[in-house]
Amino acid sequence: MTRRNLRLALTGVIAAGCLAAPMAPAQADNADAQSLVSIRNATADYRSFANSQADGFTTLVTNQQTQETCISNGSAGAMGQHYANAGRVGDGVIQRQRPEVLLYEPQANGTKVLTGVEYVVLAGDWLAHHDGPPVLFGKTFDLITSNPFGLPPFYALHAWAWQSNPSGDFSSWNPTVTCP
């Protein structure tokens, strides 16, 4: 997929390595907390929406069927608005300090609050060099094969580094995030 085609596909994208052995719950909770601190350190500058735009997070993900830009799922919660960095999505690499997508919750006054990140890699790009799905922070990515966002199959992992998620720090949906 060319960079131009990827950028075009990303205008309609969703948002739908460290390998770790299984851990006891207390160890997993501690590892998750440390992972979130790492993500917050890497993305602190993006709490300013202008900084994220300046660093290339300019592609607002849009549902091609509904034209909605704030992704929600009823009682499961929402993901918010996804701003993708096309260069990162198209590089075929997952790096803990360089997420491909930033998640923002739009506010009534027009501002945006950073709530988390999403790591995304096109499945074809990943599988060309790996035998299985990506794993980061001890979490296996979800494979998204069908989506209303215009992307070919891709792997995704959400991380709610900036807003608590009662469903889990790495769950796709966050019931504390809302769309207007």
* pLDDT, tens digit only, all 180 positions of the chain: 444 444 434 433 333 322 233 333 333 455 678 889 999 999 999 999 999 999 999 999 999 999 999 999 999 999 999 999 999 998 999 999 999 999 999 999 999 999 999 999 999 999 999 999 999 999 999 999 988 888 899 999 999 999 999 999 999 999 999 998
Establish if 166 belongs to a structural domain.
no
- Specify the pLDDT at position 180: 87
Q: How many CB atoms within 10 Å of residue 124?
A: 12
Does 57 map to a domain?
yes
Task: Tell me the backbone φ, ψ of residue 36, rounded to 5 degrees.
Answer: -65, -35
Range of the structural domain that residue 142 is part of? 3-15+24-159
Is the CB of residue 101 less than 8 Å from the CB of residue 85?
Answer: yes
Distance, CA of 168 to CA of 172 (rounded, Å): 9
Within a domain: 164: no
Task: Please enumerate in sequence order all residues whose Cβ is within 8 A of that of 24, keeping only pairs 6 or more positions apart, or say none.
Answer: none
Q: Is residue 116 part of a domain?
A: yes
Quick check: is 54 in a domain? yes
Query: CA triplet 114, 119, 125: central angle to 5 degrees?
Result: 150
Is position 86 within any domain? yes
Q: What's the pLDDT score for residue 28?
A: 41
Q: What is the pLDDT of residue 3?
A: 43
Which pLDDT value is given to residue 161?
A: 96
Domain membership of residue 107 (yes or no) is yes
- Output the pLDDT for position 151: 87
Residue 173 in domain: no
Number of separate domains in the chain: 1
* Predicted pLDDT of residue 25: 37
Length reported for the chain: 180
State residue 150's pLDDT score.
86
Non-local (6+) Cβ contacts of 29 within 8 A are none
